Structure 1
Amino acid sequence: MKINKEKEVNTEIHKKRTGKIHKKNETKIDNKSMTTRAGRSVTSVGKMAESAITENVEGGENIDGAFEATGIAIRPVKGAISEGNRIRKKIRTSKLQKEVAGKRIRKKASNKGKELAKKPAKNASKNVTKKTSKKVAKDTTKEVTKEGTKLAVKTGTTVAGSAAGPEGTLIGMAAGEAVGMKIENTFYRAEQKSRMMKYFMDKLKPGDEQNDSIFKLAGSLIKNKMVYMIKQVASLLAPLVVPILIVVMVATGIVFAIIAVLYNSPFAIFLPPLESGDTIQTVTTQYVSEFNQEIQTLVDEHKDADEGRKVYVDYEGMNSEPSNYYDIMCVYMVKYGYENTATKMNEANKQNLKAVFDDMCKYTTENVTDKKGKKKKKYLEVRITLKSYTEMSEQYQFDEERKETLNQLMSACITSNPSGSQTGGSQLSGLQGSLTPQEITSITDKITNQAQKTVASFVLSKVGYPYSQNLRNSGKAFDCSSLAYYAWKSAGIDIAFGGSTTAAAEAEGLKGKTFKEKDIQPGDLIFYNYTTNGRYKNISHVGIYVGNGKMVEAVDEAHGVCLGNYHNGGLVMICRPGK
């Protein structure tokens, strides 16, 4: 048997190709896909957390609302991004800017999602009791709402702003406002659900432990609804209301500034007091009352005399009881009312007012003996000096501005309080403060004597002029005696006596030219005595007769020069110059 030599077989042992270690190919990382996967992971984590909370925590419906709020907060972000992309195309923004902005937003959304997903899960795992679960659900809802709103507003503003500058910023703000309204709605629904859950849980308790009722539930739901509606209305009206409020606040500020200036000026006397208690009027009244009471006591007691009497030194006017009440207040306000709330009656201002009062109101006493035939009578005269505002203006050396202010204050005070002057009483009737040329002519046409006609024409033409002792010689205003003096001077006759033109001086100079009342004629001067003033026959007033039962006289600051009916109360004498 032939034995053949076996063929030599070379056997090679190959390693499995699959087992061979190969160098791994380098792979490019797709940022976009990575971001997408990261976002999905975040979503998965969020769902897992949501599931864990919902299954293990009582009151899970509220947390459902919280996750729903998160979704609402994130969705407007996508809308803001889309709007930003549209604006970027419009203004030709580069592709690179688009990608950078998109990645930035996705990254922020992912990070915020992780934080929001972890926080409620962590709280839920630690608190599983019934009481704690409700608190966690409530806190979670509020936290997610707050964070979601912040993220939406910030993100929307960032994306739109990067794309279109100021335009984008406005879009971001609009997106944030929309998110806020949606979040408010979600929060409202969550609160309503929570309240209903509380009611149902209460009904699961034994009857004696239940403390909730359908009425309480209805009340809470209605209250929440009303609050929600009010917030919505306020949110819609805010853009309209805020500008109006700003305008009102500015206007109010201006008004208060003006009032503050007025209260620190002399005109504050006409404003309401800033505080209760003493006012300039009540304090002045107190000083006047104390002064008059002191005088009256001296008159009543008249020590070492048969009788007492008051003498108002050099007074000229129609008041039976003269008073400088308004003069005192006005002078005080002009002296102390600049840059100072002088109407506020603190101790310092009371002392200032008392100092002015003492300067304007003084008295002395004097024993006087009157002889009437063989009889003698001894009087205790209390001689009273009441200074007017015009005299004090000179004494205090007021400048022209303060003098003008003082005149305005006095005019306003007396015009608004004519009864305070106690002028004339029932003697004044039928007063007219203005006359037409035809009315003047109808009166003067009946006068035949030329001098008398000139006097009547002069005084009738001055009806309506203001009363002023300070301006008695200016031709712009008159007091009683200056009106009589300039009327007869216009007819060429000077009735001054002893260098004085007071009513008493004029009467003394005409004492030899008197007439009886029944013989009175136009142009005649009628002299009156209303109080004791120490002058000739105590005469304190004079008027001019114009015929037909009428006379013209300068009454006082409240009335000025007037045409009125003839009156004889307090009549002393009737004189006719030029006789």
Structure 2
Amino acid sequence: MDIKIVKEKTPEVKIKKEAEVSIHKKKLISARTEDRTSFHVKDSSDFFGNKKPAEKDLGGKNPLAESQAGKKAREAGLSQRNGRGGAESDGKGSLPAGDVAVPVSSETMQNAGVLTNQEAKEKFKRRQKIKAVSETPKIHPGKNEIAVKGVKQGGKAILTQLEGGEEANEALSVMTAANRPFSSIGEKRKYAKAEEKLKIKQADQKISNKQLRKELQKKKKGIAEKQNKQAVRQRKMQYIINKLTGSGEQDSLLQTAKDIVRMKTSFVMVKVVKFIGALLAPLFGILFMAAFPVVLIVMLLYCSPLGAFMENPSDETPSIQEVLSGYYMEFNQSVSANAGENGAISYLHEKDGNYVSNYMDTLMVYMVQYGTGDLGIVMDEDHKQLLKEIFDEMNSFEDTTVTTTIQAGQSLGNVVTSAYCSCPICCGVWSGGPTASGVMPTANHTLAVDANNPFVPMGTKIIMNGTEYVVEDTGNFDQYGVQFDIYFDDHATATSWGHQTVEAFLADGDENTISVTRRGSYVKNMDYEDYIALGKLTTEQEELLREAMSEEFRSEIPSFGVGSDVANLALTKVGCQYSQDRRYEEGFYDCSSLVQRCYAEFGITLPATASTQGKYIVDHGMEVTEDMLEPGDLIFYSYENNGEFLNISHVAIYIGNGRMVHAANTARGVVNDPFIPTNVGLYGRPSLGK
């Protein structure tokens, strides 16, 4: 079988010289060109849309123009490699006449502010990541468990492992913080616009005033709810970011849930409080109207002289009574020091030989001047100074000699006296030194006896010519028939004394009544009338002061009475000396004489000692308990078994506010101490018997 091979013509394959591709107003860029270098011009605007300043002059060269020329050259070369020659091209892929492709260095590109394709792509990816993460995540309850598992398996490193992850997390924090004020401003603007529209409707009488208020309230409520929801969303987002970035090691899903519950609870509580406030507002209004007159009256009382007898309104400052008693303590200590141990004290105002207290006078003068229309009882530094000025004006003292009639001991008869001083002529080698008893000699006080044949023992108190002396020194004058040598401050006075014969008495005892002249202090204890006479008050203040010091005024004060009078008087004794021997002389007290003398000024007679005073209280049914204590009550202490009534050995006067006044001992004198409830055997109120 013959096989014929027929040779056919080779089929013609026609290929179009140019592929027809429909392009929507843009050129297609081959994938191969992605790796080629291209340029990206930085935006000339900053973050807020402001134009950046022009670039610096680059020496006449324009890198951007050069880069554009290079780009055109590359496009022309690309066309040639794709089979499109310059003659067959439409002219768009070739360089225009006169343009020359110039190579551009990386330094020139950097100065021109351009990025390579790869850099641009990486920057674009980072922006996309930030945008994706910054959007509010949608929380699906069913997916919470999956999210937690992802975190446990290492998902928290996702952002930090990617380039730009840390910047994304920081950007989120900044965006969240920065968004809050702008969000608040936006909500306020929305509310303002809504309010403006509603007011226009109201002006057009389309809505009533009630509807306007209701709509505005509804708008406010909507804004508040939106802000609450936003706060919850932000907390959820913060939890996710903390876990993904590893910046919140202490944060947990449980803690996030607790915070959200706490926020929602606070939102509800605010609503509840507002609701209850609206319901109770009328009740509060009624209570305010009822309480206002009472509050007003109390304020008026505190800003009047009556304020001195009311409770201290300030816990941070002492009471006016405490401050005033402190001034009396300092004053009495100065008076006693000036008078000396054996000196005498006399007063401008005395009654039956006893000091008349001006405590109330000083207090009321101050209250009339500085406590009327002002809280003068609040003892800040300014009011303390004002009270001190009033006190100094009404209480002062000066040196004096005081002649008093006392019960002295037996007469020693007429004695011969001489005189000496501390000069070398009188004392020789002992000139200027102390006496034989070790104390320095004092005029009108120091007396000397013969060392070998003393007329009386050392320490004996002698009264001669109305002056009380103490035997403190010795000499050698018995050979001249002299019993006592009297000390003087200067030699001329001692010489002029010579030898004089006088009658001498023992100071101790009560066999003789004699007049004794002592060096001492004269106290000007001015009363309110004396102060009015100074002319420092206005007519209205004078009338108010007289009214405040009247018996009618004092009777209207519930806490005022004999007990308060005694307490106030006792406060004026603080700072006086303690002495059992001179317990009835003004300026000297022991515990029982202080009680006895203070109550005697108000017509209540008490026994002389602490134990007999306690027995008097029990016998007359004047006992009280600790919880009943009022100013002026007596506190009897028992420290040992002394055989006296209830073993009482000490007594004090309660002055209120947890304090008491008592004559403590020779070292402390009369003091204002805190009330001590231990070792108390009895409480009493002598005023119950009046």
The normalised TM-score by structure 2 is 0.35
Normalized per residue, which structure has more strand? 2
Normalized per residue, which structure has more helix? 1
The normalised TM-score by structure 1 is 0.41
Larger radius of gyration: 2
